[in-house]
Chain A
């Protein structure tokens, strides 16, 4: 479904010189697979996601999605950002209906479908609210609904729950899993939280920092559907969390500035 081959990204640094953000990334993601990219901050994991989204061009290497090379953004890949990135001038309904209207759907039909999606993410009754009137968790629900609206085959999630409090975070993780169990979209999920990656994913790609390289790919062989309360008691889950935590711990030589 997604084939990333030899993707490298260097940024021009201010005052000359270049910064190698990610180096020679090779990764295949199968259709319907939930893959997390796990790594410390500054490892380039978000950059990789932006490249797959077509928002940022790679310096070298290529990406194909369903065999077609990625040259820019498209409605087959729907992003969800940590910062929500909702349109502040649009209501919840306007935000969620946006992609449907862009696809040429008539206003009434777009709004009807948007209303159904808003209900699906648990925000029925908030259609006429503006994003600024919502809590962080509600904003992210709207952002997810806005992306689901145009029915992308792939979800690109960039630390989507990173700005939320612990309680909201867990709730949204559960809701995301429920949504995913229903339509099994391909998900590329960037996070720095080990438990989140293990709970959600089929595979976890561990990245190292400076430059960002793939350090290991770990299969998460936990049965689905997963329930957090049962999972936390399973030794297999605990082992995976501990194994991954050890992996992302920086060895001393990588800590120096």
Chain B
């Protein structure tokens, strides 16, 4: 079991190594001058250097702050709305058209309007992250809650739980696997959108570092924020997988 898991991890590492080798090969073959396309060795060297750089770490912290606050607000809005929509007919009828209208809107297109109303600072970026992370969480919660086996609710009702009580005691825990699946997608989306927002207008954060480096032709530094946000995504995914394992201890396994 663990040996198999280790083998799977090894197999999963091969395409990533292949990608890096392809990158190195492109540089070695002289596809572009190394001043414009730096080698992965140079980039990862700079990443390692930056890990001890308070300035770089500060920018990373700013990005993480926006990402987390935006994501947590999305969770705090999306889960109750999803539960309400799935369990209450009126709430469902009110919510469904709104979600259908708003979900396909590219939230990044709201960003200029957000800047104008909320300013350049954290608020506009956090709201944007929330807007983008909200829908995966809301939709997953809604669908999960709508599919809860009615006999679970009946069993609780017969045991004396009030209709409102079943929401917290049965429907929420039964929906937890779906909520975590939605959160996983939302975290990836949050990583993307916080970075984009910082690229568009910012004076700090990883996205800003990338734009600043590009403007100054510091090509090695241009790739560092990309590696950083990718690593953040990887770590967050890992943390969520651990949370999942802990929270869903009694649920059937799924990959």
Interface residues of A (CB under 8 A from B): 50, 53-55, 72-75, 77-79, 81, 83, 85, 87-91, 98-99, 102-103, 130-132, 146-147, 149-150, 152
Contact = CB atoms under 8 A, between A and B. Distances in A.
Contacts of B151: 79, 81, 83, 85
A132 B158 CA distance: 23
A120 to B, nearest CB: 18
A99 B173 contact: no
B152 interface: yes
Instruction: Identify the 5 closest CB pairs spanning chains A and B, nearest first.
Output: A99-B159, A130-B250, A85-B151, A73-B157, A102-B160
A9 to B, nearest CB: 16
Contacts of A147: 155, 158-159
B176 interface: yes
A190 B155 CA distance: 17
Interface in B209-255: 248-252
Contacts of B173: 87, 89
A79 to B, nearest CB: 5
B154 A130 contact: no
B250 A85 contact: no
A117 B142 CA distance: 36
Interface of B: 149-152, 154-161, 165, 170, 173-174, 176, 248-252
Nearest to B158: A73
Most buried by A among B160, B248, B252: B160
A62 B10 CA distance: 65
A81 B158 contact: no
Consensus secondary structure, chain B interface: helix
Contacts of B250: 88-91, 130-132
Contact of B156 (A77, A81, A98, A131): A98
Contact of A55 (B149, B154, B249): B154
B248 to A, nearest CB: 8
Given A89-B176, A102-B161, A130 B249 contact: yes
A75 B154 contact: no
A30 B251 CA distance: 40
B161 to A, nearest CB: 5
Nearest to A133: B250
B234 to A, nearest CB: 28
A72 B157 contact: yes
A64 to B, nearest CB: 17
Given A55-B150, A89-B248, 16 more contacts: A50-B154, A74-B160, A75-B159, A78-B158, A79-B151, A83-B149, A85-B149, A87-B156, A88-B174, A88-B251, A88-B252, A89-B251, A99-B160, A146-B159, A147-B155, A150-B160
B155 A81 contact: yes
A85 B170 contact: no
Contact of A98 (B159, B249, B252): B159
A83 B176 CA distance: 21
Contacts of A88: 174, 250-252
B170 A87 contact: yes
27 contacts: A50-B154, A53-B158, A54-B157, A55-B158, A73-B154, A75-B158, A75-B160, A77-B158, A78-B158, A79-B154, A79-B158, A81-B151, A81-B154, A85-B149, A85-B151, A85-B155, A87-B170, A87-B173, A89-B176, A89-B250, A91-B250, A98-B156, A102-B161, A132-B250, A147-B158, A149-B159, A152-B158
A239 B155 CA distance: 37
